[in-house]
Amino acid sequence: MLQHGNGAASAGPLPPPAPAAPTPSSTPSRGPSRGPSRRRLLTGAAGAAGALAAPALLSGCGTDSAGSGGELTFWNFYGPQHGPDPAANRQADWFVKTVDAWNATHPVKIRLQFIPQPLYLNGSKLPTAFAAGEGPDIFLLSPGDFLRYYNGGVLADLTPHMDKAAIADYGTALSSRTVDGRVYALPMEVEPLAMFYDVAAWEKAGLSEADIPTTWDGLLDVGDKLRSKGPAGLVFETAPGYFQNFTWYCWMWQGGGDVLDHAGQPSFDSRATRQALQLWQDAVRHGIAPRTDPAAGDVVGAFRSGQAALWQSGIWQVAAFRAAAPDLKYGVFKLPLPPGGQYTTTLGGWSFCANAQGRDPGAAAEFCAWALGRSDEACVDRMVDWCTVAKSDVAPRTSALERGARKGGYDFWAMKKFKDEVFPGGRAEPRYPPVIYKAISDAIQGTMLAGHGVAGDASRAADSIAAYLKSYQGASLV
């Protein structure tokens, strides 16, 4: 009998990025009763490539549009949803309660401003606002966008407002959000990637628990057996964007490859890079993986409708299954390895940031630290509630992760598996600027979907990255 979970049994956690031009964070269609997916959250926070490409375009100071009546604005994409969606409602409520608690105890007030997901994540509203000097005082930022905004001079230093103990409590979770030891963004969550499978499709294909693959060849074999019964046998992200890159990096890392070495020099054209590109190309070429995402990228909807059987996705799906398909049986396993490879997965997650050019940068930075970067009980509990009640994520702070576990937030089988098996050994999503992101994206797209030679596209991407680095000026890329 397969070891699997049933969403209805969950007692704790709940749910939660275009190509020609670099677009840091994409948005698949919203399915009914479904909270924001990681795919939506990862490919759009700065949709206009040119708007934030150079610091000079971000030199404007904040204006009254950044806040009204002395208020500071907090732009976010967690707001009222159409129709009953308990996951989305809990996420929106968490933001409301957080801001209400601040406003009740501080003279400078915060006003939540809900930006619909397509505009915030896949449009130009945020970068355009900053380019005009009218950006929000507080906003959410994905790791892939960090250097775009930091190099543009709009991220306030949060370090003076944080407890030293809280900085230590975050540990390596702050590594992609710091520059020269200073913190410029505070993560609210950590989101590891794994493989999800539909139990009914798995059993229909005659597979058992013993067939859960631990190697890339085994993954392709299982995918081939699954697709022979009708659904897409194995789904890798197909839409170009920061999200697709996010889901691909771990396959390269498992073979010991990287985009840049520890000294920040180009290292993309390697055996590990080529074999990771080859894996995705082989999956599509042999018909195991589809050329477009089933169900518009809705993993739960695709499983429920029989359109897909095996999908690489992240911990946020645990909450999505519980909210949208509580009776659907699914399984989760760690990413398989290449020959001689070492396990890793990519860790994503969004952060609070303060606008260094806003109405009151000090108060905005103070709010971010108060909400997520202090050692008091209320601050830790706030993160526990976000990661195990409003959403399903790994808490980025050790104290919150431990407290969440004590409260039962990781008791549900899938949350426990992510916390204990998938998350350990993970690596933070890189913070590459748009030119580097685009070179990688072109290599993935060209080999996976256009049938280009792996060696040629890896070499071209490496040349583009090396040429860019000769003139790059900004914070460290590694």
Largest CA distance in the chain: 64
**pLDDT, mean of residues 335-345:** 98
Q: Is 194 helix (H, G, I), strand (E, B) or coil?
A: strand
State which H helix or E strand residue 219 sits in. Answer: helix 216-227
Supply the pLDDT for residue 22. 36
For 290, phi and psi rounded to 5 degrees? Answer: -75, 160
pLDDT digits (tens, 9 = 90+) for 453-469: 999 999 999 999 999 99
Q: How far is CA 263 from the centre of its chain?
A: 25
Res 377: pLDDT: 97
Which residue type is seen at 296? A
Identify which has the larger pLDDT, 99 or 24.
Answer: 99
Average pLDDT taken over every residue of the chain: 86
The residue ranking higher by pLDDT, 277 or 87, is 277
* Residue 220 to residue 286: CA distance in whole angstroms: 9
Three-state DSSP class for residue 17: coil
Q: Which pLDDT belongs to residue 193?
A: 98
Q: Return d(Cα 410, Cα 394) in angstroms, integer.
A: 9
- For residue 116, which phi and psi values (nearest 5 degrees)? -50, 140
Report helix, strand or coil for 91.
Answer: helix
Distances (CA, A) of 409 to 2, 35, 389: 24, 19, 7
Give the span between the Cα atoms of 290 and 137, in whole angstroms: 42
Instruction: Identify whether the C-beta of residue 428 lies closer than 8 Å to the C-beta of residue 345.
Output: no
Measured torsion, CA atoms of residues 310, 313, 318, 319, in degrees rounded to the nearest 10: -130
Dist CA 248 CA 278 (whole Å)? 12
Q: What is the mean pLDDT of residues 154-174?
A: 97
The predicted pLDDT at position 83 comes to: 53
What would the two tokens of residue 367 be? 């709010």
Residue 346, strand partner residues: 427
Q: pLDDT digit string (tens) for 93-131?
A: 999 999 999 999 999 999 999 998 778 876 788 989 999
CA distances from 189 to 174, 227, 375 (A): 11, 34, 17
Contact 394, 401 (CB under 8 A): yes
Q: How far apart are CA 286 and CA 299, in angstroms?
A: 22
Name the CA dihedral angle for 264, 269, 273, 275, rounded to a multiple of 10 degrees. -160
Tokens coding 110: 């915060």
Amino acid 120: pLDDT: 83
Q: In Å, how far are 138, 161, 450 from 157, measured between CA atoms?
A: 13, 9, 43
The predicted pLDDT at position 34 comes to 34
State yes or no: pLDDT of 19 exceeds 80.
Answer: no
- CA distance linking residue 51 with residue 121, whole number of Å: 14
On whether the CB atoms of residues 238 and 448 are closer than 8 A, the answer is: yes
> What is the average per-residue pLDDT within 290-298?
96
- Asked if residue 393 lies in contact with residue 348, where contact means CB atoms within 8 angstroms, the answer is no
* Torsion angle of C-alpha atoms 52, 57, 59, 64, degrees rounded to 10: -80
Instruction: Tell me the β-bridge partners of 114.
Output: 76
Give the pLDDT band of residue 280 (cuts 50, 70, 90): very high
- b/e per residue 230-264 (b: at least 16 CB within 10 A): ebbbbbbbbbbbbbbbbbbbbbbbbbebbbbeeee
Does residue 29 have a pLDDT over 50? no
Q: Which amino acid is at 11?
A: A
The pLDDT tens digits of the residues spanning 221-261 come to 999 999 999 999 999 999 998 899 999 999 999 999 999 99
Give, in order, the Cα–Cα distances in Å from 384 to each of 12, 204, 458: 11, 38, 41
- Domain ranges in the chain? 31-190+349-428
Q: What value does the mean pLDDT take over residues 417-423?
A: 98
Report how far residue 140's alpha carbon sits from residue 91's, in angstroms, rounded to the nearest whole number: 14
Q: What is the per-residue pLDDT for 87?
A: 77
308 Cβ contact list (under 8 Å, min separation 6): 198, 231, 232, 235, 290, 294, 295, 299, 302
For 5, left (φ over 0), alpha (ψ -120 to 50), or beta?
Answer: beta
Class of domain 31-190+349-428: alpha beta
